[in-house]
């Protein structure tokens, strides 16, 4: 990624007064990549996006866009366009004029402009909407027009600031799919800001998880979910169960981790770098556990007691208690074989928990 | 009507419990009546203070003077005179010119102030607005006299420039001229211009400006394509608020205008005062009113067209 980096963010810091909004961020975004900045509100993701757009300056460090240092380039000369959280549709212009807004400098004839606008309306699946007034549009339509208005300029990078945040759940899911398809179709680099981890996982090629102005981890969705590097990332993306443990090296071929609650887990040497006796944490996703009625004959398992259950339709969430661990363990399983109320686990029932050592993530102790 | 199970007697009793006066019930049922009730004080004042006098004015404009009384036979003679005698047309034209220039000057001076407070002041906006209306805390007449002191033959400007050696003799065009009237009017009506323009600028969503910049507009293009059209309602309101009352103003031209600065208001005042030709005064007032309405309509039409063009 280093060589064909399209956007390079190098040692960037941003201070608002004494408050540090961006803390020494380094990352590279490839050409044509769908890149997400994910984090809770106030983590600095929007500030970073606005720095790419040119609405905020960097306090120090530099940002290269397409190899060009961008510090002295004002927003209206950058090869990037932005879709605003509020969409910022110009209220005094109709749909066609909104979409054609940025074409002013391109010195095109009216029919040429018209043709490009029609093409865009086709792309966002709103053909024939050109004459509509801005206030006659629904939220989803405004969002698409904001997209078209930016895409018509064929920017090298499209910046999206939580563009789906204001839409209801169904429309949001539909727009996610469309956005992803659109990005494939136009092949432009997308930098997408969101606080919704599911959205980030669905859409992105790679995700940067941010917190407190720092980038915690940059990885693919699978990488972030299956192999988080820190406890913060692990608990921010999805649910995670954590177990305290100690490294046990008893030979050269294999290591094991002695955990509180799950017993001894064999771990391949690639996953543990710590010496014998070092404290670590072991993390396991709720869906990596299997709930069994009978004691299994092989593999890794412990006995547990069902504490709480929650039925969510396609899947159920359970909390089970283990000996040697004070907080309950979250388990998630599909309801593939649940047809009636009786088929589900009852609170207080004894169960067996089984898991595979491959699914185990080893993290540094706190 | 959920409680259908109640016996008639019980129903009556419970109906009595929540009985309201027929008047409030009537008000509750009729939204139109509520509206009229709310408007009634205004309607009353409008009728007594404006509509009745207006019809008296119309009637009087159709009379003629007869010695110290009126000849009440209806005639269009006064209107014919305002059309035929060039003095009336010239005065009217000058009035529109002076108040038109004053309006434009006021808008040009006040728009940046309103813009500054709306976009660049983040704390104590209200205090800024109050400070801008500060001149309004003294009487209009006093402000006019103050300008007389500033612009006069031996006034602040002339004596200041002379003591600095910038000029040899006092500048005579300052006082008793159209310039003096325009300056005074523009200053006197500034607060009326700032408030509506501030309100319309303040309402503009800042992300629209960022979006325009993002789409390639520099500061000037962004101002012309976004800020100006979106603040147009404020500019139009301000223009009307200044243009209409200043056209008929007579204090300022009377005190500062001199012979060149006299406006139609002064002439109307003459008719009702020293000349004692009330029917003529009434006719001139009506003619002025009609012209202002016509200009206002044209202005509205042109700005509407211009806005469509910019878009």
**Partner A contacted by B236 (CB < 8 A):** no
All residues of chain A having their beta carbon less than 8 Å from the beta carbon of residue B217 are 76, 104
Residue A1 in this model has a pLDDT that exceeds 50: no
Same domain, B290 and B209: yes
Class (C level, CATH) for A241-364: mainly beta
Q: What tokens were used for A344?
A: 């589900």
d(CA B8, CA A144): 61
Q: What tokens were used for A104?
A: 């002013």
Same domain, B16 and B98: no
Same domain, B235 and B145: yes
Q: Which residue of A has its CA nearest to B229?
A: A92
Residue A81, min C-alpha distance to chain B (Å)? 6
In a domain, B77, yes or no: no
Residue A158 in this model has a pLDDT that exceeds 70: yes
CATH at residue B91 = 1.10.3720.10
Same domain, B34 and B152: no
Q: What tokens were used for B296?
A: 């206002």
Same domain, B143 and B286: yes
All residues of chain A having their beta carbon less than 8 Å from the beta carbon of residue B226 are 90
- Tell me which H or E stretch contains B20: none
All residues of chain A having their beta carbon less than 8 Å from the beta carbon of residue B211 are 82, 84, 88, 90, 149
In a domain, B179, yes or no: yes
> Looking at residue A343, what is its pLDDT?
67
Residue A36 in this model has a pLDDT that exceeds 90: yes
Class (C level, CATH) for A5-236: alpha beta
Q: What tokens were used for A38?
A: 């994910």
Same domain, B93 and B206: yes
Residue A212 in this model has a pLDDT that exceeds 50: yes
Cβ <8 Å between B212 and A90: yes
Mean pLDDT of chain A: 89
> Looking at residue A268, what is its pLDDT?
81
Tens of pLDDT, residues A82-116 = 999 999 999 999 999 999 999 988 888 899 999 99
Same domain, B45 and B93: no
Q: Which of B210, B215, B221 is opposite residue A149, by nearest beta carbon?
A: B215
Would you place residue A192 in the very low, low, confident or very high pLDDT band (cuts 50, 70, 90)?
A: very high
Tell me which of B20, B46, B61 is where a domain ends: B61
The domain tally of chain B equals 2
**Partner A contacted by B2 (CB < 8 A):** no
Same domain, B116 and B219: yes
Same domain, B179 and B110: yes
Same CATH fold assignment for domains A5-236 and A241-364: no
Residues of chain B predicted below pLDDT 70: 1-17, 309-311
> Looking at residue B9, what is its pLDDT?
58
The mean pLDDT value for A301-329 works out to 89
Q: Which of A77, A92, A153 is opposite residue B311, by nearest beta carbon?
A: A92
In a domain, B81, yes or no: no
Print the domain residue range for B227. Answer: 86-310
In a domain, B156, yes or no: yes
Residue A186 in this model has a pLDDT that exceeds 90: no
All residues of chain A having their beta carbon less than 8 Å from the beta carbon of residue B230 are 91-92
The mean pLDDT value for A56-74 works out to 91
Residue B106, min C-alpha distance to chain A (Å)? 26
pTM for this one? 0.80
In a domain, B191, yes or no: yes
Q: Where are the domains of chain A?
A: 5-236, 241-364
**Partner A contacted by B31 (CB < 8 A):** no
Same domain, B12 and B113: no
ipTM of the complex: 0.82
Cβ <8 Å between B215 and A150: yes
All residues of chain A having their beta carbon less than 8 Å from the beta carbon of residue B221 are 104
The mean pLDDT value for A123-127 works out to 88
> Looking at residue B1, what is its pLDDT?
43
Same domain, B136 and B284: yes
Does residue B57 or residue A366 have the better pLDDT? B57
Tens of pLDDT, residues A2-15 = 457 899 999 999 99
The mean pLDDT value for A55-78 works out to 91
Tens of pLDDT, residues A225-282 = 999 999 999 988 889 999 999 988 877 677 888 888 888 888 887 778 788 888 999 9
């Amino acid at each position: 990624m280093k060589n064909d980096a399209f956007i390079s963010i190098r040692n960037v810091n941003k201070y608002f007064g004494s408050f540090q909004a961006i803390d020494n961020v380094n990352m590279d975004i490839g050409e044509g990549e769908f890149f997400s900045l994910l984090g809770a509100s106030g983590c600095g993701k929007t500030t970073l996006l606005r720095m790419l757009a040119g609405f905020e300056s960097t306090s120090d460090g530099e940002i290269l866009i397409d190899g060009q240092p961008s510090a002295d380039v004002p927003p209206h000369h950058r090869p990037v366009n932005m879709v605003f959280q509020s969409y910022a549709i110009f209220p005094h212009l109709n749909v066609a004029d909104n979409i054609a807004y940025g074409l002013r400098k391109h010195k095109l004839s009216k029919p040429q402009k018209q043709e490009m606008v029609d093409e865009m309306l086709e792309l966002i699946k709103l053909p024939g909407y050109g004459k509509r007034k801005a206030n006659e549009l629904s939220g989803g339509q405004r969002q698409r027009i904001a997209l078209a208005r930016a895409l018509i300029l064929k920017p090298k990078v499209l910046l999206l600031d939580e563009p789906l945040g204001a839409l209801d759940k169904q429309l949001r899911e539909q727009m996610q799919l469309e956005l992803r398809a659109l990005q494939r179709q136009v092949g432009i680099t997308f930098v997408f800001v969101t606080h919704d981890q599911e959205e980030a996982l669905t859409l992105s090629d790679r995700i940067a998880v941010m917190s407190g102005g720092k980038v915690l981890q940059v990885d693919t969705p699978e990488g972030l979910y299956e192999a988080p590097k820190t406890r913060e990332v692990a608990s921010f993306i999805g649910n995670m169960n954590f177990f305290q443990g100690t490294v046990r090296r008893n030979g050269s071929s294999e290591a094991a981790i002695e955990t509180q609650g799950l017993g001894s887990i064999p771990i391949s040497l690639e996953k543990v770098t710590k010496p014998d006796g070092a404290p670590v944490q072991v993390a396991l996703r709720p869906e990596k556990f299997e709930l069994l009625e009978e004691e299994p004959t092989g593999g890794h398992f412990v006995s547990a007691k069902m504490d709480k259950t929650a039925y969510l339709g396609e899947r159920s969430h359970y909390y089970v208690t283990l000996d040697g661990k004070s907080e309950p363990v979250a388990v998630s399983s599909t309801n593939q074989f649940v047809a009636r109320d009786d088929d589900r686990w009852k609170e207080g029932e004894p169960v067996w928990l089984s898991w595979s050592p491959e699914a185990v993530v080893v993290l540094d102790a706190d | 009507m959920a409680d259908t199970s109640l016996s008639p007697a019980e129903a009556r009793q419970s109906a009595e419990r929540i009985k309201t006066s027929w008047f409030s019930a009537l008000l509750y049922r009729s939204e139109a009546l509520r509206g009229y009730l709310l408007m009634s004080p205004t309607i009353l004042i409008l009728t007594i203070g404006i509509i009745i006098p207006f019809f008296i004015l119309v009637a009087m404009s159709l009379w003629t003077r007869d010695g110290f009384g009126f000849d009440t036979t209806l005639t269009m003679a006064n209107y014919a005179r305002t059309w035929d005698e060039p003095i009336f047309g010239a005065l009217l034209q000058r009035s529109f010119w002076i108040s038109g220039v004053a309006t434009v000057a006021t808008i040009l001076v006040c728009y940046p102030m309103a813009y500054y407070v709306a976009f660049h002041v983040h704390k104590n906006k209200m205090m800024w607005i109050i400070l801008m209306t500060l001149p309004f805390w003294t009487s209009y007449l006093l402000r006019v006299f103050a300008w007389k002191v500033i612009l006069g033959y031996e006034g602040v400007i002339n004596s200041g420039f002379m003591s600095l050696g910038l000029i040899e003799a006092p500048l005579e065009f300052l006082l008793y001229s159209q310039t003096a009237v325009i300056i005074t009017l523009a200053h006197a009506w500034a607060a009326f211009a700032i408030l509506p323009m501030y309100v319309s600028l303040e309402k503009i969503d800042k992300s629209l400006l960022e979006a325009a910049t993002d789409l390639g507009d520099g500061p000037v293009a962004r101002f012309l394509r976004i800020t100006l059209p979106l603040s147009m309602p404020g500019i139009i309101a301000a223009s009307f608020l200044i243009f209409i009352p200043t056209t008929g103003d007579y204090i300022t031209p009377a005190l500062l205008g001199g012979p060149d600065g006299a406006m139609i208001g002064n002439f109307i005042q003459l008719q009702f005062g020293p000349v004692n030709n009330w029917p003529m005064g009434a006719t001139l007032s009506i003619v002025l009113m009609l012209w202002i309405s016509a200009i206002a309509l044209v202005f509205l039409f042109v700005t509407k067209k211009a806005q469509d063009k910019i878009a």
